Structure 1
Amino acid sequence: MPRLTDARKELRRAQIAEAAVRCFGRNGLERTSIADITAESGLSAGSIYAHYRNKADLVQAAAREVLAKRAAVLGEYAASDAPPDPDELLTRLIAAIDPAEARVGVQTWGEATTDPVIRGIVVDMIDQMRAMLRDCVTAWLVKVEHQEPAAARERATPIAHRVSALYQAELLYTALRSPTEETAS
């Protein structure tokens, strides 16, 4: 059997992580089995285990997959000549919420209350998201509000914390909406 290139391995890992997100969103973390993920991805269990040691690794990969999407968007905002102000930033983030990903996020938060491995993943993801939001708000303060970078970064920290909290509240709200409500909006 030919060996997978590094690029192909990353594509396969992403394929598995995306299938895991769909399964977790549909069935929940606890009720999703590796067999569900193999069926969803179209790959064998052996292929899944060649890329991930266990379900916790898949949860981490799924969380990172979702965070990577947010990171790309936030990076574009921060790099633009006129980054969005915090209100517009929050509006854009909320508009981009995927209901299935929101359900996975909330389920993961729930698991984090009793599983130290999942807790570590969640804390890491929240910290990374806040850091990206801080960078975006700092860019807005520097480029649009013309503040000095050091002062802007200090001022951006509590603003990013509030934007993060409001975003998480919207994720929870979205996760709790029924599929019927999702299609009606």
Structure 2
Amino acid sequence: MPRLTDARKELRRTQITEAALRCFSRKGLERTSIAEITAESGLSAGSIYTHYRNKAELVQASAHAALAKHAELLGTYAASQSPPDPDELLARLIDGIDPVKSRVAVQVWGEATVDPIIRGVLVDMIDRLRSMMQTCIEAWLVKLEGLEPAEARERAAPIAQRVLALYLAELLHTSLQSPTEQAAS
């Protein structure tokens, strides 16, 4: 049997992670079995276990994939000639909230209260997201508000904390909406 190329492995991992997210969203982290993820992905159990040892690794991979997407987006904003101000940054981030992923995120928060590995992943993810937001806000303060980089760094930290808190609150709010409410939003 031919070996999987790196690109093919990454495609399989993405396929599995996306299937896991759909299952987690429907049934929750605790009630979703690997068998259900296997069926949802269309792959064999052996393929799932080739890429992930357990559900905890799937949760970690999902968190890191979400963070990578945010990093790319926030990096683009920070590098632009006119980075968004904090209100616009928050509005753009909120517009990008995926209801399925928001439900899984809230479940991960709950699991983080009892699972130290997931807690570590979650705390790291939130810290990195805050840092990326701070970088974006620093760029706005320097490029559009004319602040010196040192002052921008100092002023951006508490602003980034507030933007993050509001974003996480909106993520929670979205996760609690019914599909009908989400369609009306």
The answer to whether TM tops 0.5 is yes
Following TM superposition, by how much is the alpha carbon of 1:23 offset from its aligned partner in structure 2, in angstroms?
1.1
Mind listing any 5+ residue stretches in structure 1 that lack a counterpart? none
1:29 maps to what in 2?
A: 29
Output the amino acid matched with 1:97: I
Greater mean alpha carbon deviation, residues 70-79 or residues 102-111: 70-79
Following TM superposition, by how much is the alpha carbon of 1:143 offset from its aligned partner in structure 2, in angstroms?
0.9
1:99 maps to what in 2?
A: 99
Following TM superposition, by how much is the alpha carbon of 1:39 offset from its aligned partner in structure 2, in angstroms?
1.0
Q: Kindly indicate whether residue 58 of structure 2 is the aligned counterpart of residue 58 of structure 1.
A: yes
1:13 maps to what in 2?
A: 13
Structure-2 separation of matches of 1:181 and 1:54 = 34
Output the amino acid matched with 2:125: M
Report % sequence identity: 72
Greater mean alpha carbon deviation, residues 143-152 or residues 52-61: 143-152
Following TM superposition, by how much is the alpha carbon of 1:170 offset from its aligned partner in structure 2, in angstroms?
0.2
Q: CA RMSD in A?
A: 0.9
Structure-1 separation of matches of 2:16 and 2:149 = 41
Following TM superposition, by how much is the alpha carbon of 1:171 offset from its aligned partner in structure 2, in angstroms?
0.4
Structure-2 separation of matches of 1:73 and 1:56 = 26
Aligned ranges for residues 1-185 of structure 1 at < 5 Å? Answer: 1-185=1-185
Structure-2 separation of matches of 1:45 and 1:151 = 53
Give the secondary structure class of the aligned counterpart of 1:2: coil
Give the secondary structure class of the aligned counterpart of 2:106: helix
Output the amino acid matched with 2:157: T
Mind listing any 5+ residue stretches in structure 2 that lack a counterpart? none
Structure-2 separation of matches of 1:15 and 1:68 = 16
Output the amino acid matched with 1:62: S
Q: What whole-Å deviation, never above 9, does each CA across 1:23-80 have from its counterpart, x for those lacking one?
A: 1111111111111111111111111111111110000001111122211111111111
Structure-2 separation of matches of 1:123 and 1:173 = 20
Aligned residues: 185
Following TM superposition, by how much is the alpha carbon of 1:184 offset from its aligned partner in structure 2, in angstroms?
2.3
Greater mean alpha carbon deviation, residues 62-71 or residues 128-137: 62-71
Output the amino acid matched with 1:145: E
**TM-score, normalising length from structure 2?**
0.97
Deviation beyond 4 Å, 4+ runs, structure 1: none
Structure-1 separation of matches of 2:181 and 2:19 = 24
Structure-1 separation of matches of 2:61 and 2:8 = 16
